[in-house]
Amino acid sequence: MIVVAGESLIDVVLDQDGDSSESVGGSPLNVAVGLGRLDVPVTLVTQAGHDERGGVLVQHLTGSDVEVVAVPTDSGRTSVATARLGADGAATYEFDIEWTLPQQELPPCRALHVGSLGTLLEPGRLSVLDLVQQAGQRELFVSYDANLREVFIEDRARTRDDVLALGAQCTLVKLSDEDAAVLDPGGDPDDFARLLVGGERTRLVLLTRGAGGATAFTTDEEVSAQPRPVEVVDTVGAGDAFMAATLAQLDDLDAYRHPGPVVPSRPDELEQLLRGAMEVAAITCERRGANPPRRHELPPGWPA
């Protein structure tokens, strides 16, 4: 079982013609859905409102084989993110988020994944950090996807320090080149990834570059891979699909063994991990919204 902790919300997508649609979203939720669809047992610890949107959210999760621990929001409303699509299909976001998750006991699990607004917004952030500490005390595999939204960052230097501190407690850290640009404007994203891989418990850092592919960093290796050609419908949820596919592959490889989780370290293993994750992300980009594939929809032999 993998536990995912973080925000859930409703994505309102506005295309360039002004048409709108609503779907379930939130980076941690999308990762949980991606894992469930890839046949990995998963529980999402999150918040939802006592409203119609909250019901849609829970139904979406259970329909993707995700167990849900949904703490009610204080307001009773479900959080909302509005994604505005540009001509190239890329999304920009506006948020109406409530994140007041109280302290939780980490359920029995083999691994914990955290990220995005759940690790950034007070006061719920403190409860997520407590879950990370509980996982560390149990010597569990912990993964972290920064997935930053600059609109929520009031103090760039403090956020940078927070990301480094949390990353140092995690076995695997994922960030995009856009995340690196937020944390270190004008800097080299590769250098920031190298800084992260020096964390006390960190064994692997994955840096994604959208259509430019991705790079895996360990203390000894740096391996890059390029995605196949993709006819992009939109990029909503692509990074989350990449993250879920990474965790699913690691589950297949028994990386979450206890004590002392392990990760791939040879160049060929790292390249296959990247290619498997990029394939799931590519399929998601070929669909509208955050709609990752199920395992049976992947190419035969995936991730090879």
What is the pLDDT, as a whole number, of residue 29? Answer: 97
Q: What is the mean pLDDT of residues 245-256?
A: 96
Helix axes 27-37, 238-252, angle to 10 degrees: 40
Q: What is the mean pLDDT of residues 196-213?
A: 96
What is the pLDDT, as a whole number, of residue 165? Answer: 98
pTM tops 0.85? yes
Q: Residues 93-140: pLDDT tens digits?
A: 788 899 999 999 999 999 999 999 999 999 999 999 999 999 999 999
Q: What is the mean pLDDT of residues 282-296?
A: 92
How large a percentage of the chain has pLDDT more than 70? 99
Q: Residues 171-186: pLDDT tens digits?
A: 999 999 999 999 999 9
What is the pLDDT, as a whole number, of residue 21? Answer: 82
**CA–CA separation, 34 vs 61, rounded Å?**
10
How large a percentage of the chain has pLDDT more than 90? 83
What is the pLDDT, as a whole number, of residue 292? Answer: 96
- By residue count, the chain amounts to 304
Cα 297 to the center of its chain, rounded Å: 21
Q: What is the mean pLDDT of residues 157-178?
A: 97
Cis bond before residue 123 (omega within 30° of 0): yes
Domain ranges of the chain: 2-290
Q: Residues 81-104: pLDDT tens digits?
A: 887 878 776 767 788 899 999 999
Contacts of 95 (CB under 8 A, 6+ apart): 9, 79, 80, 81, 82, 117, 149, 151, 152
Q: Residues 9-28: pLDDT tens digits?
A: 998 878 877 788 888 989 99
pLDDT at 261 over 90: no
Q: Assign 259 a pLDDT band (cuts: 50, 70, 90).
A: confident
Instruction: Write out the two tokens for 12.
Output: 């309102």
pLDDT at 304 over 80: no
What is the pLDDT, as a whole number, of residue 128? Answer: 98
**CA–CA separation, 57 vs 55, rounded Å?**
5
What is the pLDDT, as a whole number, of residue 166? Answer: 98
**CA–CA separation, 148 vs 164, rounded Å?**
13
Q: Average pLDDT, whole number, for the chain?
A: 94
Strand pairing category for 91-96 and 222-225: unpaired
- CB contact burial 266-301 (16+ within 10 A = b; e otherwise): eeebbbbbbbbbbbbbbbbbebebbbbbeeeebeee
What is the pLDDT, as a whole number, of residue 199? Answer: 95
Looking at domain 2-290, which CATH architecture does it have?
3-Layer(aba) Sandwich (3.40)
**Taking Cα atoms as reference points, which of 151, 21, 34, 167 lies closest to residue 97?**
151
**CA–CA separation, 223 vs 270, rounded Å?**
7
